[in-house]
């Protein structure tokens, strides 16, 4: 039970998180701001600067935007390497402008953090760290190689070298912090979003299966009338056809097959004619037996105990989330058990507890504190092996089970029942919380 059972696949491998339109918009804003800043300094303040060189760099960004729109449109989803290349261009273009206008002495050198922030929040770690490294390299170069800061020629401005070094250190620290912290937070957020989507998908599939009986009954009801008409017409034809004639066998075949169809439709109709509330609720012991039964034929003994129970077994609504969550944990325990899985249930006036324990090697100690997080697994997987394209071992099994059971009001705790292993999952419902939930 120290691995995680397969449930739902990862998002597609070609998932592209960043739209071209987003980068185009950010680059147009940068172009507008750069033009405004350069013209204000040159014309408004009258400070000398290499105007045409600056305008050339700005025009290069505008030309890139126009070329991308003409070639690809605005709705293209960029792959991570292409997005990283575009952010690299933005960094180099900004570094060139800063080198022409004072280097790190220019107060707008802080804008070097903008492409780093975008890459850290949207790109994988490798590309994000490469962009961050490039930002540090550009900051280091323009701290030494740059033209003078545009200023009033009649009042020369001199910066102490230590002050410039302080600016360089602050930018390097900002790049490192943003690239590390923001990328980590964004990565965790994407994992949670993907895993929740997989949970909703699993729940939706179960709900679709649960609705099949109603659909079958509705189909049987709709097909009943035309089938009765066919059978009635065939019987009338039999009365008019000569016995032993060439059409007699065909008419008898039609009657026989229509009777068979009516029998099949009767079975389908009975699926929907059962009382709606007959199995809407069930005792906890029956629910545990139901979800464990599909796994009893896998060569592992599943043992049930309820020695500390007080009074009759509590009754639970047979919700899809409850059945799926319990079944997933029992399946996971069966996968990693050596010989048996023990399911203990206990209840009193305050709480209801279910404990699922296997006799396997147990949870890895370093994973216990993080169990329930998405995409967390101890199963070795060879990317080039036979399991490379299988959804198993992705770490979604326990996450989905935990999410679905928590929706029913449960609290889950993971530990090892024995120093030698024996993974255990304890599920607890507080009766007060259950009584306050709709449909409890």
The answer to whether the beta carbons of residues 240 and 192 sit under 8 Å apart is no
Render pLDDT for 197-239 as a digit per residue (tens, 0 to 9). 666 666 666 565 555 555 666 666 667 778 778 878 888 787 7
- Least Cα distance to 364 among 436, 416, 323 occurs for 416
Render pLDDT for 348-384 as a digit per residue (tens, 0 to 9). 888 899 999 999 888 888 788 777 776 565 554 443 3
Query: pLDDT at residue 48 above 70?
Result: yes
Q: How far apart are CA 5 and CA 398, in angstroms?
A: 7
103 is written with which tokens? 């280097």
Distances (CA, A) of 292 to 211, 341, 382: 22, 10, 31
Render pLDDT for 64-118 as a digit per residue (tens, 0 to 9). 999 998 988 877 778 888 888 999 999 999 999 999 999 999 999 999 999 998 8
Predicted confidence at residue 254, as pLDDT, reads 82
Q: Is pLDDT larger for residue 300 or for residue 201?
A: 300
Predicted confidence at residue 214, as pLDDT, reads 57
Give the CB-side neighbour count of residue 127, counting CA atoms within 13 A: 20
Give the predicted TM-score (pTM) of the model.
Answer: 0.51
334-344 average pLDDT score: 90
257 is written with which tokens? 């097959």
Mode of pairing for the β-strands spanning 301-305 and 340-347: parallel
Per-residue confidence band for 267, with pLDDT thresholds at 50, 70 and 90: low
Render pLDDT for 236-263 as a digit per residue (tens, 0 to 9). 787 777 776 677 778 788 888 888 787 7
CATH class of 281-435: alpha beta
pLDDT cut 90: percent of the chain above it: 24
294-319 average pLDDT score: 82
The answer to whether the beta carbons of residues 92 and 84 sit under 8 Å apart is no
- Which position has the token pair 């105007």? 51
Query: pLDDT at residue 276 above 50?
Result: no
Q: Phi then psi for 42, rounded to 5 degrees? A: -80, -45
438 is written with which tokens? 């709709």
Predicted confidence at residue 63, as pLDDT, reads 94
57 is written with which tokens? 């760099």
DSSP state at residue 342: E
């Amino acid at each position: 039970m120290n691995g995680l059972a397969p449930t739902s696949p990862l998002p597609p491998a070609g998932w592209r998180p960043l739209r071209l339109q987003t980068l185009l918009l950010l680059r147009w804003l940068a172009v507008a701001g750069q033009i405004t800043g350069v013209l204000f300094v040159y014309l408004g303040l009258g400070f000398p600067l290499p105007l045409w060189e600056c305008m050339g760099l700005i025009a290069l960004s505008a030309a890139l935007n126009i070329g991308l729109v003409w070639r690809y449109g605005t709705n293209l989803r960029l792959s991570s390497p292409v997005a990283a290349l575009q952010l690299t261009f933005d960094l180099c273009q900004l570094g060139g402008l800063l080198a022409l206008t004072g280097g790190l002495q220019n107060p707008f050198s802080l804008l070097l953090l903008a492409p780093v922030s975008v890459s850290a929040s949207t790109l994988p770690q490798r590309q994000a760290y490469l962009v961050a490294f490039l930002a540090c390299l550009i900051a280091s170069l323009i701290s030494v190689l740059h033209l003078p800061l545009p200023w009033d020629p009649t009042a020369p401005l001199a910066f102490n070298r230590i002050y410039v070094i302080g600016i360089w250190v602050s930018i390097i620290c900002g790049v490192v912090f943003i690239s590390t912290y923001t990328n980590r937070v964004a990565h965790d957020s994407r994992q949670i979003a993907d895993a929740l989507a997989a949970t909703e998908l699993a729940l939706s599939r179960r709900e679709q299966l649960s609705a099949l009986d109603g659909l079958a009954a509705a189909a049987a009801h709709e097909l009943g009338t035309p089938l009765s008409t066919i059978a009635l017409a065939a019987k009338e034809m039999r009365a008019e056809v000569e016995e032993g004639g060439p059409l007699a066998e065909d008419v008898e075949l039609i009657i026989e097959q229509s009777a068979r169809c009516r029998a099949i439709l009767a079975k389908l109709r009975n699926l929907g004619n059962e009382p709606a509330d007959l199995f809407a609720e069930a005792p906890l012991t029956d629910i545990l037996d139901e979800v464990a039964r599909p796994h009893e034929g896998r060569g592992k003994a599943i043992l049930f105990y309820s020695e500390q129970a007080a009074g009759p077994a509590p009754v639970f609504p047979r919700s899809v989330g409850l059945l799926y969550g319990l079944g997933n944990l029992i399946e996971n325990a069966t996968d990693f058990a050596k010989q048996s899985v023990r399911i203990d249930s206990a209840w009193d006036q305050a709480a209801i507890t279910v404990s699922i324990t296997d006799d396997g090697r147990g949870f890895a100690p370093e994973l216990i504190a993080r169990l329930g997080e998405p995409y967390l697994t101890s199963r070795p997987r060879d990317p080039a092996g036979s399991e490379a394209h299988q959804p198993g071992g992705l770490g979604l099994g326990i996450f989905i089970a935990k999410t679905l059971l928590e929706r029913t009001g449960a609290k889950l705790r993971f530990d090892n029942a024995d120093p030698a292993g024996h993974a255990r999952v304890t599920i607890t419902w507080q009766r007060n919380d259950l009584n306050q939930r709709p449909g409890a």
